[in-house]
Amino acid sequence: MRFGRGDPGKSTPVALPERAQTVTLTPSGGSGIPARVLECSPDSLLVAIMVPIEPLSHRQLEGIVLEFSGPHGRVRLTGTASLESPAEPDVVRLDGPRSIEVLQEREYVRIKAARPAIVYGAPDQLPIQSFTVDLSGGGFLLAGPDSLRIGDEIHFQLTLTPGVLVIGGTGRIVRVDAHGRRAVAFESISEPDRRRLIRFIFECQRLERQRGLETDDRCGS
């Protein structure tokens, strides 16, 4: 966000999320809900809630806060919120968005989660079985293998929940830590798979808060 020093009559530009960006909606008195931006303009934002919930009440909409990752950290916005249509209670419009604050933090929430992973460098290469150390909406930390180098592109498949369809896509090795673990940043992942991953992360967070534990059987090893 930029804070102007020029003409005091000019309003401060408001940092806004991009179209299709993942954001978090926090209703008044509630917890964060994952959502995605459908439309974005300086005067209005239209976002779609990505998890099944009851329609938000007028009281919940009055104090709603939208959070997203901006160039300088986590941005929190408020404004006049309403449901776009009674037929679409999972679509929320935020008119007159204005900033509350910018928080310096990572772009995505990251959780510790040991989930089975299969990776391969190309479709004709033999798959390598490994597991994740942590997960976020932008990638994951992989426990090896040593053959992967920084800059390598990989295809991956992750099993978030046993017995449920895996999610997959492509990623790139962007870092190797002191323990030899590979940090993978997503390059391509389908919207349904990204939504499933974000729902999984939010559910893990909810269970952690509820139980006061670092991990849960559904999220950890």
Would you write out the chain's pLDDT as a tens digit for each of its 221 residues? Answer: 333 333 444 445 678 999 998 888 988 777 788 899 999 999 999 999 988 888 899 989 988 989 887 766 678 899 999 998 888 889 999 999 998 755 444 456 788 889 999 998 766 678 889 999 999 888 899 997 888 888 888 999 999 988 887 899 998 888 888 888 998 988 888 888 888 898 888 888 888 777 765 444 556 65
In whole angstroms, what is the distance from residue 12 CA to residue 203 CA? Answer: 36
The pLDDT value given to residue 10: 43
The pLDDT value given to residue 101: 56
DSSP letters for 33-96: EEEEEEEEETTEEEEEE-S--PPPPHHHHHT-EEEEEETTEEEEEEEEEEEEETTEEEEEEEEE
Which value, in Å, is the radius of gyration of the alpha carbons in the chain?
19
The pLDDT value given to residue 79: 92
The pLDDT value given to residue 192: 87
In whole angstroms, what is the distance from residue 7 CA to residue 132 CA? Answer: 51
Instruction: Give me the domains of the chain, ranges plus CATH numbers.
Output: 22-103 (2.40.10), 110-211 (2.40.10.220)
User: Position of tokens 């800059």?
Assistant: 151
The pLDDT value given to residue 4: 37
In whole angstroms, what is the distance from residue 140 CA to residue 75 CA? Answer: 23
Determine phi and psi for 205, rounding to 5 degrees: -60, -45
Both tokens of 19, joined, read 């179209």
The pLDDT value given to residue 11: 47
